[in-house]
């Protein structure tokens, strides 16, 4: 309970009008795992490394990954969806989680097993890879291997990455109306090379009518939908079926 009272100190700052007050839940009953999860929730990139080293003396890397690092990130995702956390906190937490996962993977001598690959990118010309950062974090936290192409990615590079990695799905983010016109071009090229995978498009400038106007396109309204969509794609669900399920 000591840790929870520490969180309340963090949230003292959220006294601002229109900002929601919230509190992180306890993530693990195990005090060691809970302390690791707390570093993720607080986005403490510096503190997490020594804490994971210490925990590895008594816990298995897989337990730390699943019950502390990923569990902590899921809690961050919840706080973000509820409007308690803002984007910078999600980024910090995701970085902390990744540092922890890298430590555990090193201890295991291999990468953690991933469910499947997802290629993510932000449209060419768009320098705001912000939505994508969250998508990456959530996919990562849900056990997918993220092939992160970053921001301002040309059409050809997206198609080439899909050819190389054979992901279960690919995502595209655009915050500017001027850049989302790359999406139908990508979809067209993917189809042309026989990659009939769902192409999830989202971001500030993107809307459902636009995305569902071309084949493969599935509109992603919220970043938080990405893991669920990836799970569907993993089971082999086609883009047309996913569109029926996730879009109106």
Partner 1 sequence: MNAKERVMAVLNHQKPDRMPCFCANSTVTYEQMEKVQAFWPSGHEKGEDMAKQALAAYTVVGFDAVRVPFCQTFEAEALGCGVKSGGTEGIPGIAHPSPYTLNDTPVFPNDFLSRGRIPELLKAVRILKKELKDEVLIIGGIIGPFTIAGALVDTVPLLKASFKTPEKMRPFLEMGQKAGNMLAKALIEAGADMISCEDMTASPDLIAPKTYRDYEMDYQTAQFEGIRVPKILHICGNVDGIVAWMGQTGAEILSLEPKASAQLAREKCGPDIILMGGVDTATTLFMKDVATVKAGSEESIADGIQMLAPGCAVAPGTPMENLLAMLEVAKAH
- Residues near partner 1 (CB under 8 A) are 13-14, 16-19, 43, 86-89, 91-92, 95, 124-130, 133, 151-152, 176-181, 204-207, 209-210
User: How many other CB atoms are there within 10 angstroms of residue 248's CB atom?
Assistant: 9
Nearer to partner 1, 51 or 134 (CB): 134
Give me Rg for the CA atoms of the chain: 19
Q: How far is the CB of 30 from partner 1 (least distance, A)?
A: 27
Nearer to partner 1, 2 or 13 (CB): 13
Q: How far is the CB of 78 from partner 1 (least distance, A)?
A: 17
Distance CA 40, CA 46 (A): 11
Nearer to partner 1, 20 or 163 (CB): 20
Cα angle 99-105-108, degrees, rounded to a multiple of 5: 150
Q: How far is the CB of 237 from partner 1 (least distance, A)?
A: 27
- Region label for 203, one of left (φ > 0), alpha (ψ between -120 and 50) or beta (otherwise): left
Distance CA 218, CA 66 (A): 29
Q: How far is the CB of 214 from partner 1 (least distance, A)?
A: 13
Longest dimension (CA), the chain: 58
Nearer to partner 1, 33 or 206 (CB): 206
Q: How far is the CB of 61 from partner 1 (least distance, A)?
A: 26
Q: How far is the CB of 117 from partner 1 (least distance, A)?
A: 23
User: Is-contact 217 191, C-beta < 8 A?
Assistant: no
Tokens of 230: 């990836």
User: Is-contact 36 3, C-beta < 8 A?
Assistant: no
Nearer to partner 1, 133 or 139 (CB): 133
Sign of CA dihedral 139, 142, 237, 113: positive
Nearer to partner 1, 64 or 226 (CB): 226
């Amino acid at each position: 309970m000591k840790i929870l009272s520490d969180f309340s100190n963090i949230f003292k700052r959220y006294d601002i009008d229109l900002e929601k007050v919230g509190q992180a839940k306890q993530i693990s009953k195990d005090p060691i795992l809970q302390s690791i999860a707390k570093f993720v929730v607080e986005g403490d990139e510096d503190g997490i490394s020594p804490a994971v080293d210490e925990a590895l003396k008594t816990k298995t890397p897989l337990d730390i990954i699943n019950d502390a690092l990923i569990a902590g990130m899921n809690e961050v995702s919840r706080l973000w969806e509820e409007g308690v956390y803002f984007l910078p906190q999600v980024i910090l937490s995701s970085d902390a989680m990744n540092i922890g996962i890298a430590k555990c993977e090193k201890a295991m001598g291999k990468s953690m097993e991933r469910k499947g690959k997802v290629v993510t990118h932000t449209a060419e010309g768009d320098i705001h890879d912000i939505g994508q950062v969250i998508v990456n974090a959530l996919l990562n936290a849900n056990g997918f291997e993220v092939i992160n192409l970053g921001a301002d990615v040309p059409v050809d590079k997206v198609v080439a990455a899909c050819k190389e990695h054979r992901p279960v799905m690919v995502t595209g983010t655009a915050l500017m109306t001027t850049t989302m016109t790359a999406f139908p071009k990508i979809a067209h090229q993917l189809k042309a090379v026989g990659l009939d995978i769902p192409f999830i498009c989202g971001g500030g400038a993107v809307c459902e009518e636009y995305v569902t106007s071309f084949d493969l396109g599935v509109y992603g309204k919220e970043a938080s939908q990405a893991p669920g969509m990836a799970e569907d794609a993993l089971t082999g669900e086609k883009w047309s079926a996913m569109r029926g399920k996730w879009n109106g």
